[in-house]
C-alpha cells in the first residue's frame, strides 16, 4: 500500500507502460486512478480490470495534445476523487514515418511527434499543477526515453521531443520545488509494448536490440511501472528533477 489514499492520472494508460502503471498504482492502494488515453476500448478494459480487482478507477478520453481535453480530464478527476496527487505524462508515439533521418523527416511528422510526445507533457503539467498546489504538493512523472538522452540512426523527431521532455522536467522541478510538487522523468530502454510491436516484428530487429542490453533481455512494461510507483510514492519525497533510466544498462556503456 505504498500509494494509499493518493489520486493519480496516467496518460497512455490503455496499453504498455501506462496500463502496467495504472494497475500497479491501484494495487498499491491509490484511492483513485484515472486511466486516460485515446484508445477508448482498451482503456475501458484496463479500468474494468482495476475495478474488478478491488481498485478504484475511471476512464477518460484524453488526447494529450488537446488543451480542452486536459481541462476536462483534470475536472473529471477532481469531481470523482476530490483532488489530484500524481500525474504520469506517459502517452507517446513512434510510427514508421517518424523513424527517419533529419533530411527524410517531413515537417508534418515533426509537428505531430512533438504535439504528442512533448506538448502533451507540457499541457499535462500545466493543468495538473494547480490541483496539486491545492493538496500541498504532488508528483509528476514524465515518460521520456533513453532516446531523450542519446542519439541513434533514425527517429529524428522522437529524439527531439523526448529530449525536450528531459529538460522540461528539470525546469518544472526547479520552478515548483518550493511548493513540494516534484517532477521527474523516466527513461525506458527497449521494451515490448504496442509502440514497438511492428518494429520488433521485423526480422532480426528484436535480437539486435537485445544484443545492446547488458542485462540480456527486452524490457517489460512492469520494469518501468515499478519506477513510476517509486516516484509517485512518498519514498521519493527528496527526489526531484532526476532522470530515472530503466534500460538494463544499455546507455551505461
- Contact region for ligand NAD (CB under 6 A) — 78-86, 106-114, 130-138, 192-200? 192-200
**Cβ atoms of residues 12 and 37 within 8 Å:** yes
Q: How far is the CB of 180 from ligand NAD (least distance, A)?
A: 26
Residue 158 falls in the annotated catalytic set: yes
Grid look-up 482503456 returns: 43
What region does 55 belong to: left with phi over 0, alpha with psi -120 to 50, or beta?
A: beta
Residue 8 binding ligand NAD, by CB under 6 A? no
Site for ligand NAD in 75-114 (CB under 6 A): 90-93
65 part of the interface to ligand NAD, by CB under 6 A:
yes
Burial of 101 (0-12, 13-18, 19+ CB in 10 A): exposed
Of the two residues 54 and 204, which places its CB atom closer to ligand NAD in the complex? 204
Q: Return d(Cα 59, Cα 53) in angstroms, integer.
A: 16
Triad 26, 58, 138: Cα angle to 5°: 60
Could you tell me the three cell numbers for 253? Answer: 556503456
Q: How far apart are CA 191 and CA 247, in angstroms?
A: 8
16 binds ligand NAD (CB under 6 A): yes
Q: Which of 59, 158, 176, 230 is catalytic?
A: 158
- Whose Cβ is closer to ligand NAD: residue 29's or residue 50's? 50
Binding-site string for ligand NAD from residue 142 to residue 181, where x marks contact by CB under 6 A and - marks none: -x-x------------------------------------
- Confirm or reject binding of residue 185 to ligand NAD (CB under 6 A): no
CA distance 53 to 193: 23
Site for ligand NAD in 214-233 (CB under 6 A): 221
Contact 142, 244 (CB under 8 A): no
What is the contact surface with ligand NAD in residues (CB under 6 A)? 11-12, 14-18, 37-39, 62-65, 90-93, 116, 143, 145, 188, 190-191, 193-196, 221
Amino acid at each position: 500500500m505504498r500509494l494509499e489514499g493518493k489520486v493519480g492520472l496516467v496518460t497512455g494508460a490503455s496499453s504498455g507502460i501506462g496500463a502496467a502503471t495504472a494497475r500497479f498504482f491501484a494495487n498499491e492502494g491509490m484511492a483513485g486512478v484515472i486511466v486516460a488515453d485515446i484508445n477508448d476500448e482498451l482503456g475501458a478494459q484496463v479500468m474494468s480490470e482495476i475495478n474488478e480487482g478491488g481498485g478504484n478507477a475511471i476512464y477518460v478520453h484524453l488526447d494529450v495534445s488537446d488543451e480542452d481535453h486536459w481541462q476536462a480530464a483534470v475536472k473529471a478527476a477532481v469531481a470523482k476523487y476530490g483532488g489530484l496527487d500524481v500525474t504520469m505524462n506517459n502517452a507517446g508515439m513512434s510510427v514508421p514515418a517518424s523513424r527517419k533521418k533529419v533530411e527524410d523527416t517531413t515537417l508534418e511528422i515533426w509537428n505531430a511527434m512533438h504535439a504528442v510526445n512533448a506538448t502533451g507533457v507540457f499541457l499535462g503539467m500545466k493543468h495538473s499543477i494547480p490541483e496539486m498546489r491545492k493538496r500541498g504538493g504532488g508528483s509528476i512523472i514524465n515518460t521520456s526515453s533513453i532516446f531523450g538522452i542519446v542519439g541513434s540512426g533514425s527517429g529524428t523527431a522522437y529524439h527531439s521531443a523526448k529530449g525536450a521532455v528531459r529538460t522540461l522536467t528539470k525546469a518544472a522541478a526547479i520552478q515548483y520545488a518550493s511548493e513540494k510538487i516534484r517532477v521527474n522523468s523516466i527513461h525506458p530502454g527497449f521494451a515490448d509494448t504496442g509502440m514497438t510491436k511492428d518494429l520488433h516484428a521485423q526480422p532480426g530487429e528484436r535480437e539486435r536490440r537485445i544484443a545492446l542490453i547488458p542485462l540480456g533481455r527486452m524490457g517489460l512494461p512492469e520494469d518501468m511501472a515499478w519506477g513510476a510507483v517509486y516516484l509517485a510514492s512518498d519514498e521519493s519525497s527528496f527526489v526531484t528533477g532526476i532522470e530515472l533510466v530503466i534500460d538494463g544498462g544499455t546507455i551505461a556503456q
